[in-house]
Amino acid sequence: MYILHSPYSFFHATSSTHHMTTPQLFQPTRIGDIEVANRIVMAPLTRCRADEANGDIPGSEMNVAYYRQRSGAGLIISEGTQVSPVGKGYMATPGIYSEAQVEGWKHITQAVHAAGSKIIAQIWHVGRITHPDLTGGAHPVAPSAIQPNVVAYTHNGKVEIPVPHALSTTEVKEVVQQFRQAAANALRAGFDGVEIHGANGYLVDQFIRDGSNHRTDVYGGSIENRCRFALEVVDACVAEIGAGRVGIRLSPLTPFNDVTDSNPQAVFGYLVNELQKRGIAFIHFIEGATGGPRDLPGFDYAAARQAFKGTYIGNNGYTRDMAIDAVESGKVDAVAFGRWFISNPDLVERLKQNAPLSEANPSTFYAPGPVGYIDYPPL
């Protein structure tokens, strides 16, 4: 056979003796209403490079270049974007509550779409994990007035986090509306949907867990009550943009940001069942400790995968082989990579080719400027 490159001869060559299959990880699918080119997700990554002086605005040329470079991902989940000024917990993280922020995000979503990928906004409220130096002077808020054993990093250096103000029942409802507005803003900014940040010890997680929620109103006490805030946020986003464009990130076992729960299986098991009833697009699980060991006891991810019929996105320390196997075996529908996407803008191509991966430099994770942000070379 000498017409080596005709599709016909290629078809015969592959379908007869050497049948080569592309792992499902690299094949298209749907995540809710969103069609994606592959099952590799870029995890949300705080990079602290928004325009803070002008109001926490994203969308500089550098920000656009960063996301465009990573558009090989089937789906990009944006860095956490705060739903209000007091929901901000780190320097120079972008917001999604002002018109200028919405305009800024448009530059990013347009660039990602032009490059053939999809992008959703991770909508975020840090709750007690902040300091007035980061919020324009506003006092941190939380389910209960319990100080976390965590420090904040501000322009004045490392500072102690104060005892937070416990939100009143009325104030909780106002925060739900801020998430709803953030979902509306995300669609106006050109995002394909939202991921509610329900993980890593921030506000939603602080409500879920009994270590940080000692409330005696309808938002505290029983498992149903502790999940009420998360589910009201989900319902508000679903009402605003539709269930097929809403997902949530959960980390049932993480100790990150000083969160604890006496029975993660019970509370997160209930939450997963309730999320299934609502038909949301996906649950994004950080399996184990965020950025740490995966094999912690106390939550059955396989049971959650069975209970939830939407897309299951797995995350935390996946290698190429783990990701391919997890999708092939049906343990997960998609895999999110965080750290590897920092230092390998063309991560999907490298995984396809089984090419070596570059290591990220942690000293540039949250530092301003282009170094360690847009200067990692592709293959």
Contact residues for ligand 8OZ, defined by CB under 6 A:
46, 80, 90, 199-200, 290
> What's the closest the beta carbon of residue 199 comes to ligand 8OZ, in angstroms?
6
Helix (H, G, I), strand (E, B) or coil at 336: strand
> What's the closest the beta carbon of residue 263 comes to ligand 8OZ, in angstroms?
23
Distance CA 295, CA 286 (A): 12
> What's the closest the beta carbon of residue 48 comes to ligand 8OZ, in angstroms?
8
Between 203 and 327, whose beta carbon lies closer to ligand 8OZ? 203
Contact (CB, 8 A) for 246 and 280: yes
Distance CA 66, CA 46 (A): 12
Distance CA 116, CA 71 (A): 7
Distance CA 294, CA 91 (A): 29
Between 28 and 369, whose beta carbon lies closer to ligand 8OZ? 369
At what angle are helices 264-278 and 223-241 packed, to 10 degrees?
A: 30
Burial bucket for residue 26 (CB in 10 Å: 0-12, 13-18, 19+): middle
What positions carry a catalytic annotation?
Answer: 202
Distance CA 241, CA 339 (A): 30
> What's the closest the beta carbon of residue 251 comes to ligand 8OZ, in angstroms?
8
Rg, Å, the chain Cα set: 21
Helix (H, G, I), strand (E, B) or coil at 346: coil
Between 205 and 232, whose beta carbon lies closer to ligand 8OZ? 205
> What's the closest the beta carbon of residue 77 comes to ligand 8OZ, in angstroms?
11
